[in-house]
Amino acid sequence: MYDSRKYLEPPKFLCIRDRILVLCIAGIFALLSIVSIIITLTKDYAWTDFIGDAVTLFFEILVIIGAIFMTKLTLQIAKISLIIQLIIVLVLGLFVVVYDTSSEATGKVDDSLDVLFSTNTTGMFEVEQSPEEMFKSALKFGFALEIVFIIGIAIIYLQYFLINRLLKYVTYRGVNGQHRVSP
């Protein structure tokens, strides 16, 4: 039996309202992106670092706007932006891990790919090591990088899940006469 009463109250994840949790997560990501953009602009980093941070900041601002205004349109835009962000992180996760770990294992960085991958991690293994030690170090580095990507993907999916629940809540409330939901 379908119970429509669950959409009468704002959705909660554990004991925190979905809207507050989305705002906190998106705010933290936006703040980290702003700090990274400032560091990128003040230091001598590649322009691709700036572009990646700016894209992340743009998507997180869309999510924040969706969670603040809580209209059907803004939440749908936030949902689409999270899908795009998830696809970008998944694709980058496939290539960045392989590129970084292979460059660390061999001790060489191919300059032709610097346009795509501007991470400079060559200073991590400066000490002369045997090929076996370099391989072990790169393997540990690769596993750590995989864990970071998995955590990032999980957080983006959590945001998507919460935005989707907020969208259902707003849609149900809009059908019943309220087009904009107050906090």
More confident residue, 161 or 99: 161
Within a domain: residue 81?
A: yes
Residue 158: per-residue pLDDT: 96
pLDDT (tens digit per residue) in 20-73: 999 999 999 999 999 999 988 888 777 777 888 899 999 999 999 999 999 999
More confident residue, 158 or 95: 158
Within a domain: residue 3?
A: no
Residue 113: per-residue pLDDT: 47
Please name the residue ranges forming H helices in 43-130: 47-69, 72-106
Within a domain: residue 75?
A: yes
Residue 67: per-residue pLDDT: 94
Residue 173: per-residue pLDDT: 80
In the predicted structure, residue 115 carries a pLDDT above the cut 60: no
Domain carrying residue 149: 14-108+126-173
Q: Which amino acid is at 129?
A: Q
pLDDT (tens digit per residue) in 138-175: 888 888 889 999 999 999 999 999 999 999 999 888 75
Within a domain: residue 5?
A: no
Alpha carbon distance 46, 49 (integer Å): 6
Helix (H) or strand (E) holding 13: strand 12-13
Within a domain: residue 68?
A: yes
Within a domain: residue 155?
A: yes
In the predicted structure, residue 3 carries a pLDDT above the cut 80: no
> Of 77-86, 118-127, 147-156, where does mean pLDDT reach its minimum?
118-127
Within a domain: residue 9?
A: no
In the predicted structure, residue 127 carries a pLDDT above the cut 90: no
Task: Give the torsion sign (CA, 148, 150, 155, 159).
Answer: positive
Within a domain: residue 6?
A: no
In the chain, the number of structural domains is: 1
